[in-house]
Chain A
């Protein structure tokens, strides 16, 4: 699986958009980008995934650059409950379920 690089921590004001970057410059053509988050004392939660095209669901949007070397997770209107560690994971689909979580980005949403 390709390695990912994320900032260690970020802050965001409540109500504003939170843009979490992820670098995956060694991604290969059949690898997907997945995002999970872990709120303190809970298990990780799936957010969104994508291959090439931008994706949006009820939780977030995922923007993948044309060369696929980086992506951005966007929480359009961050709330205090979005304070969590966000993990960007790159892996081949259907390759087994081992997720390499890495260190992630600790997002703090402030009032």
Chain B
């Protein structure tokens, strides 16, 4: 079956703009998590959604937000972009709350200029 898909794959934005990234989980998966990866900080957890509800949130400012739709697809939004937001944004899906495995998408490479 198809894996986790993320769109767009690459994005260039200017400081102060806002951006929306999309993630489609594996069919049947109900949990979606988002991570930010930068060379300096590594992989950092942003937030997790299950059945349209945010269950966990990492230590990121309120400019980072997300949501999940009834079909489990998820979006994350970053407002008032800063240069430091340049990163690879990864989405991962899991079957349900009891799953041990997360399946990651290829990521969206965001560059803020």
Residue ranges of A at the interface with B (Cβ–Cβ < 8 Å): 32, 34, 38, 42-46, 49, 87, 93-94, 96-104
- A34, A98, A103 — which one has the most chain B CB atoms within 10 A of its CB? A98
A46/B102 in contact, CB under 8 A: yes
C-alpha spacing A110/B40, complex, angstroms? 26
Give the distance to chain B from A45, nearest Cβ to Cβ, in Å: 7
Residue B11 at the chain A interface, CB threshold 8 Å? no
Q: Which residues of A contact B42 (CB under 8 A)?
A: 101-104
With contact pairs A43-B105, A44-B104, A46-B101 given, residues A96 and B48 touching in the complex (Cβ less than 8 Å): yes
In terms of DSSP, what is the predominant structure of the interface of chain B?
strand
Contact: A45 with B33, CB < 8 Å? no
A44-B90, A103-B42 known; A97 vs B106 contact (CB < 8 Å):
no
Tally of chain B residues near chain A (CB < 8 A): 24
- Chain B interface (Cβ within 8 Å of chain A)? 4, 31, 33, 35, 42-43, 45, 48, 55-56, 58, 90, 92, 94, 97-98, 100-107
* Contact assessment for A43 and B4 in the assembled complex, using a CB-CB cutoff below 8 Å: yes
Q: State A64–B31 Cα separation when bound (angstroms).
A: 29
Instruction: Give 28 A-B contacts (CB < 8 Å), ordered by A residue.
Output: A32-B100, A42-B106, A42-B107, A43-B105, A43-B106, A43-B107, A44-B43, A44-B90, A44-B92, A44-B104, A45-B104, A46-B102, A46-B103, A49-B100, A93-B100, A94-B98, A97-B48, A97-B55, A97-B56, A98-B33, A98-B45, A98-B48, A98-B56, A99-B33, A99-B45, A100-B45, A101-B42, A101-B43
Chain A residues with Cβ under 8 A from B58's Cβ?
A: 98
